[in-house]
Amino acid sequence: IHSNLIKRVQFFSSIFKPKKENKAMNSSMITDLKEAHYQFFKAHKKQSLKVRIDHLKKLKKVLNEKEQDIFNALDRDLKKPVFESFTSELLMVQKEIDAFIKNLKEWAAPKRVSGSLLNFPSQDFLLSEPYGTVLMISPWNYPFQLVMVPLVGAVGAGNTVVLKPSESAPHTSKVLIDILSAVFPYDWVSVVEGDAQVAQALLKERWDYIFYTGSTQVGKIVAKAAAEHLTPVTLELGGKSPCVVDGTAPLQKTARRIVWGKFLNCGQTCIAPDYVLIKSEHKDALIQALIEEIEKAFGDDAQNSKDYGRIIHEKHFKKLEADLKNQKTIYGGKTVAKELFFGPTLVDQPAMDSSLIQDEIFGPILPILSYDTLEDIDEVLTELKNPLAFYVFSQNKKFINTLIQNYPFGGSVVNDVLVHFTNPKLPFGGIGNSGVGAYHGKYSFDLMSHTKPIVKRSFWLDLPQRYAPYPKSISLLQNILKHI
């Protein structure tokens, strides 16, 4: 049955073309799949933690067996160097699985809380229960870990998952099907391949939870679809993450870390530094240091570097080319359309109303803005508010605290970039335009669980005053309640 259904889902994906005559059939296949998940969840609601943990162990084993397939797929989709595929994709997933295997029993255990004297005597506790069936829609930039990390959370919390990976990373998507169908029954975890139209068809169904990662623009469409059924939703959206540098920290090391975070995966990282905001007097020195670090990492022509990736597809490549038009490129700017190569590029002081500043860049172009006063910084950070990540390089505690306390953002790193993502003890998510909700480790478990507060009462104490007919005066009651 399992392989038949997988075949049906693959068949469905391949035939779901934007033709009207296919629509009814395909929508009904989605409804069938959803129903299969619903029945699975109903039958296994009380599925033991042991079964979940056993499946996570099996998942880890299959990941090890398929390691080379994962690396090959990421190479074919994004020309990801194996080092990056291991550190920023596979390792993240392995760590997440380990965290769940180690802690799931503790996270899932009912938690006692002290009771209220108003209800004395009572036992009060919290029960974490799975929502049911989770729809996950994922992007292409880290097409393996941005699927698997939330999936581990959803499954660990006891949900079933219908996953739609990005159509722009088709090789990774095939490996995901391969891995997940080897570990989970189809009605526990299913992969539905397809484009935006398939995602729209999935969104028409009533799900118990929706977990979406992708652009802010599509996030709004997902949120509207979720609102239709009042389905709870997590939105992991785009970032326009600033990197504020005041010049008090070592500039060369600062430049090295910025270059690493910016050009990893060819700039296609949601938490990559989007732009630099440097104190004017240090601007030239920082630019010099950035150029040196780019060349140390990728040589003087990154096209020949085995450690430099490519842009995902032509549409995105063209968007980046358009972003660069009429800008003052101070380094790089080399592009080779036929191999989707876009070299590391620095741009001096783009206008605030240009697309480079107004939109998320999501590519290897780094604009350098400068400031003189805190007011200048405020103007930029207020205009580009609610980034997914916020980076500040400084040795000045007051400066650091002023920035990290005064501006809203998803998460922050002081004197480095990206690394907050790698600590499963920290929640990862955005705010406002950069998202709603946060996950990783225990935060994923809590996010994908509904917490039921329960009060268990006994009968031996039953104050008659709470029942009608009520006492004529409430002053005694007021006095008592004031003191408990």
Residues taking part in catalysis: 236, 270
Three-state SS for 4? helix
Tell me which H or E stretch contains 98.
helix 91-108
Three-state SS for 463? coil
Q: Is the peptide bond before 121 cis (omega within 30 degrees of 0)?
A: yes
Distance in Å, CB of 123 to ligand NAD, minimum: 39
Q: Is the peptide bond before 469 cis (omega within 30 degrees of 0)?
A: yes
200 makes contact with ligand NAD (CB under 6 A)? yes
Pick 138 or 231: Cβ nearer ligand NAD = 138
Of 11-19, 49-57, 234-242, 281-289: span binding ligand NAD (CB under 6 A)? 234-242
Instruction: Measure the CA–CA gap between 282 and 361, rounded to whole angstroms.
Output: 24
187 makes contact with ligand NAD (CB under 6 A)? no
140 makes contact with ligand NAD (CB under 6 A)? yes
Long-range contacts of 38-43, Cβ-Cβ distance < 8 Å, separation of 24 or more: 38/132, 38/133, 39/187, 40/160, 40/185, 40/187, 40/188, 41/130, 41/132, 41/133, 41/159, 41/160
Partners of residue 436 on adjacent β-strands: 235
196 makes contact with ligand NAD (CB under 6 A)? yes
Distance in Å, CB of 215 to ligand NAD, minimum: 4
**CA 360 distance to own-chain centroid:** 16
Instruction: Match 């180690």 to its residue by tokens.
Output: 102
163 makes contact with ligand NAD (CB under 6 A)? no
Which tokens in the block code for residue 271?
């938490």
Distance in Å, CB of 333 to ligand NAD, minimum: 22
Of 5-13, 147-155, 211-219, 395-403: span binding ligand NAD (CB under 6 A)? 211-219
Burial of 295 (0-12, 13-18, 19+ CB in 10 A): middle
Neighbours of 479 (CB within 10 A): 9
Instruction: Measure the CA–CA gap between 397 and 406, rounded to whole angstroms.
Output: 14
What single letter denotes the amino acid at residue 301?
Answer: D
Number of residues that bind ligand NAD (CB under 6 A): 28
Of 9-17, 212-220, 338-346, 455-463: span binding ligand NAD (CB under 6 A)? 212-220
137 makes contact with ligand NAD (CB under 6 A)? yes
Of 139-147, 289-297, 364-372, 390-398: span binding ligand NAD (CB under 6 A)? 139-147
128 makes contact with ligand NAD (CB under 6 A)? no
In sequence order, what DSSP letters do the residues of 280-319 get, joined into one string?
GGGHHHHHHHHHHHHHHHH-S-GGG-TT----S-HHHHHH
Which tokens in the block code for residue 434?
């950069």
139 makes contact with ligand NAD (CB under 6 A)? yes
234 makes contact with ligand NAD (CB under 6 A)? no
Pick 319 or 457: Cβ nearer ligand NAD = 319
Q: Which of 267, 133, 118 is nearest to 190 (CA)?
A: 133
Of 94-102, 232-240, 302-310, 364-372: span binding ligand NAD (CB under 6 A)? 232-240
Which residue in the set 93, 97, 154, 388 belongs to the binding site for ligand NAD (CB under 6 A)?
388
Which residue in the set 29, 180, 270, 320 belongs to the binding site for ligand NAD (CB under 6 A)?
270
Pick 18 or 469: Cβ nearer ligand NAD = 18
Which residue in the set 56, 192, 218, 403 belongs to the binding site for ligand NAD (CB under 6 A)?
218
Which residue in the set 132, 156, 158, 239 belongs to the binding site for ligand NAD (CB under 6 A)?
239
Here's the x/- map for ligand NAD, 346-365, by CB under 6 A: it reads as: --------------x-x---
Q: What residue ranges bind ligand NAD (CB under 6 A)?
A: 137-141, 146, 164, 166-167, 195-196, 199-200, 213-215, 218, 221, 236-239, 270, 360, 362, 388, 430, 435
